[in-house]
């Protein structure tokens, strides 16, 4: 195991303010949300920036909890597939909310297509798409209305960035970065 001081130094050098790695459950998200809010208040972050960071944190954490591979039956037994990671950092004048989780390989292409489509939209188009999805019926069996990625794209100050890495047959690790 790495020396904790080395980990602390790495986190500080990378501008990481808070991080969580492990199984995402809604009770954990609630507690992490309280910690994020307290941390931002202690840092005297401007209210609008605090609201943006908190909104994106909640959306990202819910996405990890709702869409992790384990929750969809991808990996049996003792796999770490139900684990995710969420990091809040600061780089210059910007906050970064980064999240990652395991996804089934067959889920990667549709997810990347959604992200690519969002990346091609401007603020007015994102707003219109958000309103359209708000009015639409949630498809049967869906875990949500599909608003999270749109909300994150609308809140971000730069296009969403992402990556997918193959970790084992049929299982990928998806990472998303939102710059605020």
Select the CATH number that applies to the domain covering 4-179 from these four: 1.10.30.50, 3.30.565.10, 3.50.30.40, 2.60.120.560.
3.30.565.10
Phi, psi of 93 (to 5 degrees): -90, 5
- For residue 39, the model assigns a pLDDT of 85
In the chain, alpha helices (H)? 4-13, 26-42, 47-67, 105-119, 123-135, 148-155
Q: How far apart are the C-alpha atoms of 133 and 12, rounded to whole Å?
A: 39
- For residue 47, the model assigns a pLDDT of 86
- For residue 142, the model assigns a pLDDT of 66
- For residue 148, the model assigns a pLDDT of 93
Task: Spell out the per-residue pLDDT of the chain, length 180, in tens.
Answer: 679 999 999 999 999 999 999 988 888 889 998 998 888 888 878 888 889 999 999 999 999 988 886 554 444 444 667 789 999 999 999 999 999 999 999 999 999 999 999 999 999 999 999 999 989 887 776 666 579 999 999 999 999 999 999 998 889 999 999 999
Mind listing the pLDDT tens digit for each residue in 133-162? Answer: 989 887 776 666 579 999 999 999 999 999
> Considering the entire predicted model, what is its pTM?
0.87
Q: What is the DSSP letter of 69?
A: G
Q: What is the DSSP letter of 121?
A: -
Cβ–Cβ under 8 Å, residues 24 and 65:
yes
Cβ–Cβ under 8 Å, residues 53 and 46:
no
Q: How far apart are the C-alpha atoms of 125 and 127, rounded to whole Å?
A: 5
Residue 8 φ/ψ region, left for φ over 0, alpha for ψ in the -120 to 50 degree band, beta for the rest: alpha
């Amino acid at each position: 195991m790495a020396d904790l001081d080395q980990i602390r130094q790495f986190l500080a050098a990378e501008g990481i303010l808070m991080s969580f790695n492990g199984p995402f459950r809604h009770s954990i998200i609630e507690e992490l949300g309280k910690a994020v809010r307290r941390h931002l208040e202690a840092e005297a972050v401007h209210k609008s920036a605090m609201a943006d960071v908190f909104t994106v944190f909640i959306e990202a954490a819910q996405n990890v909890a709702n869409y992790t591979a384990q929750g969809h039956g991808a990996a049996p037994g003792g796999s770490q597939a139900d684990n995710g990671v969420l990091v809040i950092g600061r780089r210059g004048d910007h906050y970064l909310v980064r999240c990652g989780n395991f996804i089934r390989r067959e889920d990667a292409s549709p997810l990347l297509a959604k992200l690519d489509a969002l990346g091609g939209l401007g603020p007015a188009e994102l707003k219109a798409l958000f309103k359209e999805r708000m009015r639409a019926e949630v498809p049967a069996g869906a875990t949500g209305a599909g608003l999270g990625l749109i909300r994150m794209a609308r809140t971000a100050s730069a296009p969403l960035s992402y990556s997918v890495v193959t970790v084992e047959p049929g299982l990928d690790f998806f990472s998303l970065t939102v710059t605020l």
